[in-house]
Amino acid sequence: MQRNGDAMKTMNRRELLRNAYSVALGSSALYASSSFSATSAQFQLANALTQPADDYKTLVCIFLFGGNDAFNMLVPRSDAEYNAYKASRQTLALEQASLLPINAAQNTSLQFGLHASMPQVQQLFNSGKLAFLTNVGALVEPVTRTSYQGNKSLLPPQLFSHNDQQTFLQSLQSSARRNGWAGRAADAMLSVNANKKLSMNISLSGSNIWQSGVGVTPYSIDASGIKELENFNTKTTDARELSRIQIYKTLLAQQQENIFQREFARTQTIAWDLAGEIKTALDAQAPLQTAFPANNPLANNLKMVAQLLSARSALKVKRQTFFIGIGDYDTHGDQLRRHVLLLSQLSSGLDAFYKATEELGVANQVTTFTTSDFGRTLTSNGDGTDHGWGSHQMVMGGAINGGQIYGQFPELVIGGKDDIGEGRIIPTTSMDQYAATLASWYGLPSGNFADVFPNLQRFNAVDLGFFKN
């Protein structure tokens, strides 16, 4: 590609396609697979017609890549339990007096506190907008210390491996089949949204398994907004640029013999049209008044989610999921210092986002939740922690029955009943249960639960109870 100043002098067909390729892959939302039957579509349409006209709900997944040390995020303050925690955590134990107290609504003898860098989460919890789900993790079936040590447990593939556990928690599948539970849910709910071009699932962190289904591909965007083709501004008054746009559209419309060329042209055309549609919808919205913290990657992404929420009516959608991945939680070293920054960004980002949903009047229609590869070991490696298993997560939103701690809080004792060895805590709540509770609120028909949550039948509780009735 040659340039003369700001103007492009020449651009042949191959260069045009190469220039557009990354935009097409990065932002295209593909139509549903033709494998979906007409009967299935009719059932989906019938379900959509039964929904109220103003029925909008969205799930926002914040994936803490690397494995968050939640045992230093939510800490018991009761003396006996704190002393056990301190003995297990050794040099990583937080001082009891530094913990931010939270007032759990349920009747429990345990008292809890948060890491000192999370005052916003403390306020969200105490005001009933946020809840904790304790000791949740990757499970295929319930596991005990005895069954694990006797090799009698059916386990997720490659426990303690980053990539394998990220894949399992997003897919809930142990087989080679790879699609995500949000993707499968979207497959089942395709007709709910009037806008068939825009995917139900939007990612701010690129490709991910969680949002990928059989007939659904996530639409990719980032915190800076819609990425348009360089030198293809359809609103320009530059005659050369308008001519360039027309030539490219002509190229895309040509009949192609090669199947890959045909698919590229189809995908690129959809992506181009959709980018313009979304940009127009976003530009028409009033600026958010909620202040988001600066120099905070999570907050930047959540602000873009809030802007997309403001355009929900213009985009003609009733159901959406958003995926944000935040890294650096693999704290093998320098954990005490690094965790301060990580949890501070998480806390302030969640707070700003919740306030934005209140500003937009959708706080009751947006549920934000965290997940992570796994928890960390109770034991210290000297300056950090190693890969564990069970962990604690947060759920936030106006529909959440907040100010409560759900699940079975583990015994934080090395060699105790919940420790399989080396301070790795066995989860007592599965990701299938966690996800099914979220999906039930979201509106996934009960007839689809067996496919979307393949391990759920092995657990007693389907609804964990953290939503309001």
Query: Which residue did the predictor score with more confidence, 102 or 272?
Result: 102
Q: Which two tokens stand for residue 6?
A: 């700001």
Q: How many CB atoms are located within 10 Å of the residue 267 CB?
A: 21
Q: How many CB atoms are located within 10 Å of the residue 393 CB?
A: 27
Among all chains, which residue has been given the structure tokens 């079975």?
Answer: 408
Q: Which two tokens stand for residue 163?
A: 């990539």
Contact residues for 368 (Cβ-Cβ < 8 A; gap 6+): 59, 60, 62, 350, 353, 354, 395, 396, 397
Sign of torsion over alpha carbons 27, 28, 29, 33:
negative
**What is the per-residue pLDDT across 370-426, written as a single tens digit (0 to 9) for each?**
999 999 999 999 999 999 999 999 999 999 999 999 999 999 999 999 999 999 999
Q: Is the pLDDT score of 72 beyond 80?
A: yes
What's residue 441's pLDDT?
98
Instruction: Provide the pLDDT confidence category of residue 259 given band limits of 50, 70 and 90.
Output: confident
In this prediction the pTM is 0.86
Q: Is the pLDDT score of 35 beyond 60?
A: no
Q: What phi and psi, each to the nearest 5 degrees, are found at residue 395?
A: -125, 140
Give the residue-averaged pLDDT of 240-250. Answer: 72
Instruction: Provide the pLDDT confidence category of residue 23 given band limits of 50, 70 and 90.
Output: very low
Structure letter (DSSP) for residue 215: S
d(C-alpha 396, C-alpha 400), whole Å: 6
Among all chains, which residue has been given the structure tokens 């009751």?
Answer: 364
Q: How many CB atoms are located within 10 Å of the residue 74 CB?
A: 23
What's residue 107's pLDDT?
59
By the 8 A CB rule, do 375 and 138 touch?
no
Among all chains, which residue has been given the structure tokens 């089942």?
Answer: 188
Judge residue 137's burial from the number of C-beta atoms within 10 Å of its C-beta, 0-12 exposed, 13-18 middle, 19 or more buried: buried
